[in-house]
Structure 1
């Protein structure tokens, strides 16, 4: 009887402990469920926003490009105010210069691109003829070429697909023209109402601290974009001049156009240098019969670009715009999938904006202290 009386208190104590711990367990489970619900909500929000951005490409892409260009031109217009020119007129003047420069760039590239497209079959045949002796060293490649060799296949394919290709090009020109008009209109209107829009965003916050935070974030974003584009433009201008010299020494025609193309393509990380190197490789192989002379311009440009990106850019820019290369690569893939070539061009500026906003939100400024 004594043993049974001793066991009953132990069982009752165990039940009391379980009852005491049960609210904690319930709270932990509830917190875990709430965390999962929050993560699911955020994930669904991100997916919905991505779907909206993808579906509204025709509107959001030119407006986003106009805002980024307008921020840079607006900050440059603020600097012109020192010479007595109002910011609105300075912004419009810079916008006019930008549009004229963009039109000149398109006209300069349109002619050679049209000639290359017209002579594409002959150029491709010439490149194949030069590379074929080196490809024949590999048995499996030679067998594949022999199996698929048909001298009239390319011409027949071009003739059969000429109509659909022209239809596709015509179908793509109309949206591009509309997006260009949206971009120009958004750029002009943004420059005209930039200061008013800025004041409206600041006054939308009720408290003084939030208004100061908004001013600080907007100033940091504008400074980051202006510094990045001004510094990158100077660096890539030097790269364009060096590319022009490489093309001239390498015997390529239209050397200034190669330099201009190198300057523009350098604003697209990774993809620009890849496309430029391949273009120089094709141009060199079409110009020279010797393989070493043909690949020399592409190799020289790649080495120069590699040195500038790894030595000059870090030395000039420093750690101010040091973004993780993996994140930049992911951003390029994402925005290229979203908005195509323009998305690839906007990937780095958008990443820079996101990084600047994150830094400003994460690190609040130190409290101001009155001098003693």
Structure 2
């Protein structure tokens, strides 16, 4: 509301009984405050900030268990319609949930098996392409050599059991094999937890929603809980389905473009573009770097080396700036600055899975805030243009 400076007082006739009432600024302000109330007590902001910080700290510390649970909830929103469809075909819900999960796992395993061959081929070609890469990056040859010298000095320092002038021993870690083993074990544990929680969420269906409705005392609260649950499921499911379809289109277009420009292994590059497109903004930027590196390793001419990255960036530009915003504009109008901050924050918290979950979690927060009176101001702040 724009503040208007006070006008000088002047005598005016008293309003008659037939004159229209003058607008009351206090009434307007109270209406706005009733629509989007803001807490006026400083203790509310202080306690709310402490609660948010403590919650984020707990999420960070317990990420090994919280991240699989959040992934399971998001996959549950995506797979519930398929389970209902199988249930409509007179298939028991427990069997339908198991079939849906097995189909997803089978598709992922098939994709990994199909991509393992081209990935191994590129791993073998990498040593042969390094001279070609150095020829393209001749300008950076000096800094690269200096960096290699620093790395060699660091490795030599790590090899010495005791530093000169110090009695502190340098302990070596488990090495590359130990790190890979630990990382693989953590991934497998997370996948098992996600699949286990996802199965029981799919089997339970609307059990949690029914229990919440039974607990709430007022009918308006019951209706609000059902409305929030349905809106979250509809919007997030529509977002995930639309993004998956558009990512598949990007993958197919990228595979065709890489085949036509002579890069080879179109299935590998199409799958790479498909997976990276799940991470808004950061994924395509990393993909552009990957295709630039692949082009420099494959082609002698600098112009041909730049062609795969240019084609991939052009495909993403068409998809990310025209098609996907046009399809999602009605459901998702999020502030782009907050989307970027959410991506960076959740990538720092949970890595790549956090970046994938950043936009759905932000959308869920906006849906809840828009339907709870005390949080409407937050929902308005999250809204885009």
- TM-score, scaled relative to structure 1: 0.78
Pairing partner for 2:67 from 51, 61, 66: 61
User: 1:259 Cα deviation (Å)?
Assistant: 0.8
Question: Structure 1 residue 335 and structure 2 residue 335: aligned?
Answer: no
Question: Structure 1 residue 74 and structure 2 residue 48: aligned?
Answer: no
Within a 5 Å distance, the mapping from 1:205-244 to structure 2 comes to 205-244=216-255
Aligned residues: 321
Bigger radius of gyration among the two: 1
Question: Structure 1 residue 319 and structure 2 residue 330: aligned?
Answer: yes
Within a 5 Å distance, the mapping from 1:192-207 to structure 2 comes to 192-207=203-218
Give unpaired runs (5+ residues) of structure 2: 1-39, 160-171, 377-385
Secondary structure in 2 matching 1:314: helix
Please say if residues 129 and 298 of structure 2, whose CA atoms lie closer than 8 Å, have aligned partners that are also in contact.
no
Within a 5 Å distance, the mapping from 1:239-258 to structure 2 comes to 239-258=250-269
Please say if residues 134 and 141 of structure 2, whose CA atoms lie closer than 8 Å, have aligned partners that are also in contact.
no
Within a 5 Å distance, the mapping from 1:83-98 to structure 2 comes to 83-98=89-104
Q: What is the distance in 1 between the residues matched to 2:145 and 2:55?
A: 50
Please say if residues 258 and 269 of structure 2, whose CA atoms lie closer than 8 Å, have aligned partners that are also in contact.
yes
Secondary structure in 2 matching 1:269: coil
CA separation of 1:147 and 1:172: change in aligned 2, threshold 3 A = closer
User: 1:233 Cα deviation (Å)?
Assistant: 1.5
User: 1:79 Cα deviation (Å)?
Assistant: 4.0
Q: What is the distance in 1 between the residues matched to 2:297 and 2:370?
A: 49
Secondary structure in 1 matching 2:252: helix
**What value does the CA root-mean-square deviation take over the aligned residues?**
2.9
CA separation of 1:76 and 1:225: change in aligned 2, threshold 3 A = farther
- TM-score, scaled relative to structure 2: 0.75
Superposed CA offset, 1:44-67 (max 9, x none): 111100000000000000111011
Aligned to 1:261: 272
Give unpaired runs (5+ residues) of structure 1: 1-33, 136-140, 364-372
Superposed CA offset, 1:40-92 (max 9, x none): 11111111000000000000001110111012101232244554445544333
More helix by share: 1
